[in-house]
Amino acid sequence: MRIKDSVVLITGASEGLGAACAHEFRRRGARLVLTARNAENLERVGAGEDCVIAGDITVDRHREQLIAAGLGRFGRIDILINNAAHGLYAPGSSSPPELVRAMFELNYMAAVDLTARVAPGMRERGTGAIVNISSIAGRMTLPWFTHYSASKAALEAFTRGLRMELGPHGVHVMSVAPGYLKTNFQDHVSGGTPPASIRGGRRFATTAERCAGDIARGVEAGKRSVVSPGVAGWALLAMNRALPGLTEAILARLNGKLDKQ
């Protein structure tokens, strides 16, 4: 799909991958609709004729206002990037239900609602793209991140269904599975603290800018799925598919070590 002159809505755009996507898609000639809760950071990311609407996308009224503002400014939304998310470091068997529900509202339900609001226009025009930012954790469960993995697995299933539903109508649907990114994601989890060994794994992380470039190229090429970083990410997922028992044993052993930290 052509990015130049397209209208792109990006959630969670005030920092990290969302901000990197804003810069990358703007560089490629897109017009942007940006949202996030942090109004000050969002204003710094926005530029030129961008439509910048600060607010909480878990609130129905804000989602309504966001779409209305984008349509009012540009007349259409061509690409939706469902990026906003947060994590929860807590055991799956004893996570506070209210934190799990709040995470699903952001990581999954907000994306479902925004998609429902923009998809009819895309179908009518016979073109458009929906990009759901999932995670490596959405394709293989991380035991110290069980409910986050579950929320992203739900987003993966939603993406596959959308692709079959909307693809015949000219709408491109793409899943993105980043691994560790050099962002402040771990500082914004809703509960728990990432274990030292997991935080230390960030030395193997890629940058948000590189991932944003992978996303933009994926949109232009019409890819079904993007994994970033590609080689390491696909290798890990291939091992999980080929040897799921071994992968689970390794992760369980690592999780046992984390419990002792």
- The residues that are catalytic are 148
Tokens of 130: 């929906």
Tokens of 177: 């599975």
Contacts of 34 (CB under 8 A, 6+ apart): 9, 10, 13, 14, 18, 22, 42, 45, 46, 50, 51, 52, 53
Length of the chain equals 261
Show the 3-state SS of the chain: CCCCCCEEEEECCCCHHHHHHHHHHHHCCCEEEEEECCHHHHHHHCCCCCEEEECCCCCHHHHHHHHHHHHHHHCCCCEEEECCCCCCCCCCCCCCHHHHHHHHHHHHHHHHHHHHHHHHHHHHHCCEEEEEECCHHHCCCCHHHHHHHHHHHHHHHHHHHHHHHHHHHCEEEEEEEECCECCCHHHHCCCCCCCHHHHHHHHHCECHHHHHHHHHHHHHHCCCEEEECHHHHHHHHHHHHHCHHHHHHHHHHHHHHHHCC
